[in-house]
Chain A
Amino acid sequence: MFSLWQWEAAWLPKPGKTAGDEYHSLLVDMAAFGHALHAGIRPAALLPESVAPMDPFVLALRRIEFESGRLLQAQILFLKGPELVSVRDEVADAVERRHDQVREHWIAMLHSLDVDTD
């Protein structure tokens, strides 16, 4: 069941011990969360196939997803950057964890709207 406070709470930083110090851990966690948001939330993909492609609402949703793909590059560049090469596995774990979290909330929210996510 979707609840707003869980979604809000997801924005709170949850730094792991990924980059050796708290500051870098915080940055990694924030970037991982940004990666999960931009990559995992695809509202336009929920539209039925029969929808008119030039419908303004459809265009807007696809534009949001398109911009997410571009914004994602900031997180990718940082998370794959040379500073974090030595802790690559931990960074990958942080990103996976944040993706799982965002996916769980996103699916709960869609179910609360009666949207089938299968």
Chain B
Amino acid sequence: MPWLACNSRRIHYELAGPDDGPAFVLINGLTQYVKLWIPFRDALVASGFRVVSYDMLGQGQSDKPRLFIEQEDQVAVLHDLVTELGERPIFLAGISFGGVIALRCVIEHSNTVSGLVPMSSFAELPPQLFRFGAALRTALILGGTTFLQDLLFPMNFSGEWLESKAHLIDFARYRGWLVNDVYALQNLMESFLNFEPLTPKLSQIRIPTMILTGEYDFLTPRPLQDSLRIHIPESELVIVQRAYHAFTLEKPELTAYLAARFAEDVMSGHWQGKKSIWLAPEEIGGQFIPFPAGYDHLRAVPVRLPAGREAQSEVTRSEATQRDVIHEEAVQSEVTSPGTRFLARSTRTVASRRCSRPGSRLFCCLRTARRRANSRSRCRATCTIHGSWNCIRSFAARWRFFRCLHGRHLGFRIRR
């Protein structure tokens, strides 16, 4: 079990994925612990990322300061973890309270990471959230960890999810109670009930930032994430449809896909953070939809923006169409069986979905092609224009391939 020493504290963390891959560091929410990231982490690992998940100070198996926890201490831990990862593209993805720590880390150590994914996060405590937090703290004090969890479950998840996972809820409550200590959770909650707003410093964040928010999140409502969008220059706000607060737990594969796609866009230089607002696809590989022009994304009903409040960042339909590339026409493949001749002229569309972002469209189809090929096969792709074969099994190779050929209509073949 790996441990990190930071200012005489021991931090429990877990590593997964290829040693040399670009990295994601996952930062917990309040009552979370490392194991809860497993489905999300595994989805990122499958996309070729090195993934670090860890228990923050006061959580899980990490040290639990008895009386005081400061956000500065959490930032120091995160920075040490990032430093340990060495020279490579590093992305931070933090949910809720973890997103706050990620924002602070990027503000204080601006050159250490390549991209940021704050999820269900916030930079300040307006009265509604402050009172919510204070009430949850009181619930913890009067009712213990289990009562706090009982309150958080219906805030974090949809009714459908709670119903489908009903048989696991008691076990989750038990695990949550076991790994958390009342005093440590109380210290954590107090460390952010008293925190200095980050909003004035958000403009210092000069790295690509994808802000994820749940469509139905009422614990940290959308105006909090919209404030991040407004103040962070290279940001985009992506609304995860039909999601509540804890969508990394309810929709781990989908949200990991969004994070991976963001990272791929950033690494390929195609991230366009224009403070625009998007609806995330509901399925992996689906299309990003620009938030309808002229409508207010902060309302729960479709209300037109008042005159003079047209969002500068709104994506017009034509822009979206321009960014949208039809894969079906672009991608063709030929498949051969091991030990047999090439099946000449046999073509197959390997990626039938549209990807709205140019930075990731080729990745998407290459990844799909790789999945469809036997995992043990030598999976190669070729460009119809250049005719050269390239191995696409590793993430880095796909990236090189992409850098050479992006923007063209490609046909590629898979050879087993």
Contacts and interface: CB of A to CB of B under 8 A. Distances in A.
Given A70-B141, A96-B66, A76 B186 contact: yes
A65 B177 CA distance: 11
A73 B141 contact: yes
Nearest to A96: B66
A57 to B, nearest CB: 16
Interface in A28-74: 35-36, 39, 42, 45, 49, 53, 65-66, 69-70, 72-73
B181 A39 contact: yes
A19 interface: no
B178 A45 contact: yes
A39 B183 contact: yes
Nearest to B174: A49
B345 to A, nearest CB: 59
Contacts of A88: 68
A53 B178 CA distance: 14
A92 B67 contact: yes
Contacts of B181: 39, 42
Contacts of B182: 39, 69, 72
A80 interface: yes
Interface residues of B, number: 16
Task: Identify the interface centre among A65, A73, A76: most chain B CB within 10 Å of its CB.
Answer: A76
A92 B68 contact: yes
Contacts of B68: 80, 88, 92
Interface residues of A, number: 22
Task: Identify the interface centre among B66, B170, B178, B182: most chain A CB within 10 Å of its CB.
Answer: B66
**Main SS of the interface on chain A?**
helix
Contact of B67 (A45, A65, A95): A95
Nearest to A45: B178
B142 interface: yes
Interface in B157-190: 170-171, 174, 178, 181-183, 186
B66 A70 contact: no
Contacts of A91: 67
B147 to A, nearest CB: 9
Nearest to A88: B68
Given A92-B68, A96-B66, A76 B183 contact: yes
Contacts of A53: 170
B183 A35 contact: yes
B18 interface: no
Interface string A76-97: 1001100000001001100110
B21 interface: no
Contacts of A45: 178
Nearest to B184: A39
A66 B178 CA distance: 12
A21 to B, nearest CB: 21
A69 B139 CA distance: 12
A73 B141 CA distance: 7
Nearest to A51: B174
Given A72-B183, A76-B186, A99 B66 contact: yes
A68 B390 CA distance: 63
B292 interface: no
24 contacts: A35-B67, A36-B66, A39-B181, A45-B178, A49-B171, A49-B174, A53-B170, A65-B144, A66-B144, A69-B144, A69-B182, A70-B141, A72-B182, A73-B141, A76-B183, A76-B186, A79-B67, A80-B67, A80-B68, A92-B67, A92-B68, A95-B66, A96-B66, A99-B66
Interface of A: 35-36, 39, 42, 45, 49, 53, 65-66, 69-70, 72-73, 76, 79-80, 88, 91-92, 95-96, 99
- Pick the 10 closest A-B CB pairs, nearest first: A69-B182, A95-B66, A39-B183, A66-B144, A92-B67, A69-B144, A95-B67, A99-B66, A45-B178, A73-B141
